[in-house]
Amino acid sequence: MGDLIQLIVSGIATGAIYALAALGFTLLWQAAGVINFSQGEFVMLPAFAILLFIALGAPLWLAFLLACVAAMLVLGIGFKWVIVDPLIRHGVIPLVIATLGLSIGLKSTLKAGYSAEAHPFPSPFPGGQFSIADVNISYADIGTLVVAGFVVISLQLFLNRTVTGRAMQAVAQNTDAAKVLGIDVKRMVLYTFLINAVLAAVAALLVTPTYLAKFDMGDAIGQKAFFAAIIGGFNQTRGALLGGVLIGVLENLVGFYVSPAYKEGVALILFLVVIVFRPEGLLGRAEERKV
């Protein structure tokens, strides 16, 4: 029983990180109709940015804040202006191809231009664990849950309790109707890109101590975040949360009770099952788009 609880708590913590990246997927899709296949690299870059700022003498917390600012500029504004804005009018497919290309380009550039090695990354949480009865839970898992939970709850409060958040939801639900009311659609879409960049930076802070900073660290997290978004429902932010946590927990359970060899296949199998039996995702709603 102790093992089971440990696995579930640890799985929720890992899943929360997937969920952060998956949230970015769903937000970008809803607000701008963008599927970003370089989302994994959006997590990898802030990890290296944090290491860069630490190397320049900043403490971890300051390095993280600076990385958030850099992410907003490069992965938020830069990504939108340089890749999305010129291509969005041509439809989804050119953007999919462009983001796939961006993913390959970023990885290759980092590998060839900086390092192909895995670099250790400081954990923002103390080492060790605490025990209750026969259950041992690491401080890292608790810290991850607290930080990811705080970010997700803050985001939900922002989206639901502020006029700007509701305007962003309005743009996501019906862009034309939002324009008609005088909502500044371009600004709301830009906010979404900025939020995605910050979510990626937070995911980098939480996941890199485990994954280590490496040019291809985004492959796994990007893939799982994408599956999580589909499993939960691509058009629902809470779907991304559910999808992320489901994958994290099931990976842990399968890895422990079945075989670690099957762990990496869990997200794919869950994804296939959902696509076949509930294509709109567990919490998603069927969607029609005009062609």
- With beta carbons less than 8 A apart as the criterion, state whether 151 and 10 touch: no
Q: Please measure the distance between the N-terminal and C-terminal CA atoms of the chain and give it in whole angstroms.
A: 52
Residues contacting another protein: total by CB under 8 A: 16
Q: Which x/- pattern, by CB under 8 A, does the window 171-200 give for another protein?
A: --xx-xxxxxxxxx----------------
Query: Rounded to whole angstroms, how far apart are CA atoms 42 and 74?
Result: 10
Q: Count CB neighbours of 173 within 10 A.
A: 12
Query: Rounded to whole angstroms, how far apart are CA atoms 40 and 196?
Result: 12
Of 91 and 101, which has the nearer Cβ to another protein? 91
Out of 111, 166, 238, 278, name the contact with another protein by CB under 8 A. Answer: 166
Of 248 and 284, which has the nearer Cβ to another protein? 284
Of 176 and 276, which has the nearer Cβ to another protein? 176
Out of 169, 256, 263, 280, name the contact with another protein by CB under 8 A. Answer: 169
Phi, psi of 83 (to 5 degrees): -110, -50
Q: How far is the CB of 18 from another protein (least distance, A)?
A: 24
Q: How far is the CB of 140 from another protein (least distance, A)?
A: 36
- With beta carbons less than 8 A apart as the criterion, state whether 47 and 217 touch: yes
Instruction: Tell me if 263 contacts another protein by CB under 8 A.
Output: no
Tell the residue number behind the tokens 């899709």, with chain if given: 29
Out of 1, 55, 133, 163, name the contact with another protein by CB under 8 A. Answer: 163
How would you class 213 by CB atoms within 10 Å of its CB: exposed for 0-12, middle for 13-18, buried for 19 or more? buried
Query: 136: part of which helix (H) or strand (E)?
Result: strand 135-138
Instruction: Tell me if 167 contacts another protein by CB under 8 A.
Output: yes
Q: How far is the CB of 259 from another protein (least distance, A)?
A: 42
Footprint on this chain of another protein (rule: CB under 8 A) = 163, 166-167, 169-170, 173-174, 176-184
